[in-house]
Homo-oligomer: A and B are copies of this chain.
Amino acid sequence: MSSEKPDARGETLDAFHRGNFHVLQPKGEGHRSGVDAMLLASLVAEEGPITVADLGAGAGAAGLAVASRLPGAKVTLVERSALMADYARRSVALAENAHLAERLSVIEADVTLTGRARVATGLIDDSFAHVIMNPPFNNAGDRTTPDRLKAEAHAMTDDLFETWIRTACAITMPGGQLSLIARPESVSDIVAACGKRFGGIEMTLIHPRPDADATRILVTGIKGSKARLAFRAPLFLHGEDGHAFLERADDLSNGRMAYHRRIGRQTRVTVI
């Protein structure tokens, strides 16, 4: 992404996908979207008409990236924070995003709502072909989180994956796909939360460089699948030297390529 207009209000207008869409974000407040959101969006790899929910969408970067690459995607951005939901609405309304706006909507709601309270927000059972999420995590080990908003966005609770993936499963169509990006140490919580909800889990570790520890993990799963878990080939962002992205990482980040699962979404349902 490239930030174009930091202004007096402490906002930036950031260009993604080489300028194909923009996101308005608070500067120094809240969680700022970047490469994580773009890699998450690359996991939706289905042409044709699909419905997509972006849970915990923030200012909307990942959801907009899906809409930007896939002309058949209708994307619902779900965000709890009133401030960030407002940024999402303003991002959707940007003149720069006019070509995407009719396929985007925003729901201001807590992802962890259940039952009727969840349905009342518009998050209907079995209604999305794809659900994507970049759940908040606590960055305390890495750096200080100075402001309240960032702390809130990064607040990790013990059952975060359980509650988020429970909602994801409820709103995903049978055979639909969950996609998420998270920290590698969450691997066991993620698998446990997928449980019998999402199977055929495919994980890809993201390493900044080939000899470095993984810093993120990409995870996809299919609702109701019983296929076994696999770790795909790792994704290296940079080579051993230099600061430029490697070609594949750059293609995925810039919307020129989707990351395809081995076993995709299952659209045929066998009725016995």
A209 to chain B, nearest CB (A): 8
* Chain B: minimal CB distance from A222 (Å): 15
Instruction: Give the docked Cα–Cα distance between A262 and B66 (Å).
Output: 38
Q: Min CB distance, A226 to chain B, in Å?
A: 12
A272 within 8 A of B: no
Decide if B230 touches A214 in the complex (CB within 8 Å).
Answer: yes
What residues of chain B lie closer than 8 Å to A228, measured between beta carbons?
141, 185
- Total interface residues on A, CB under 8 Å, equals 23
- Using CB atoms, name the residue of chain B closest to A212: B233
Interface hits, A161-202 → B, CB 8 Å: 184-185, 187-188, 191-192
CB-CB under 8 A from A210, the residues of chain B are: 233
- Contact between chains at A205 and B234 (CB < 8 Å): yes
* Chain B minimum-CB-distance residue to A230: B213
Contact for A213 among B207, B211, B232, CB less than 8 A: B232
In the complex, chain B residues whose CB is within 8 Å of the CB of A187: 187-188, 191, 229, 231
Q: Which residue of B lies closest to A185 (CB)?
A: B229
Query: Smallest CB-CB separation from A194: which chain B residue?
Result: B188
A239 to chain B, nearest CB (A): 13
Nearest opposing residue in chain B for A213, CB measure: B230
**Interface flags, A208-247, vs B, CB<8A=1, else 0:** 0011111001000000000011111110000000000000
How long is the Cα–Cα vector from A207 to B231 in the complex, in angstroms?
A: 9
Chain B residues in 8 Å Cβ range of A217: 231
Contact, CB under 8 Å: B192 / A188: yes
Bound-state CA distance A86–B141 (Å) is 50
| A188 nearest CB neighbor, chain B only | B191
Q: List the B side residues contacting A207 at CB < 8 Å.
A: 233-234
- 19 A-B Cβ contacts within 8 A? A184-B229, A185-B228, A187-B187, A187-B229, A187-B231, A188-B188, A188-B191, A188-B192, A205-B205, A205-B234, A210-B233, A211-B233, A212-B233, A213-B230, A213-B231, A213-B232, A213-B233, A214-B232, A217-B231
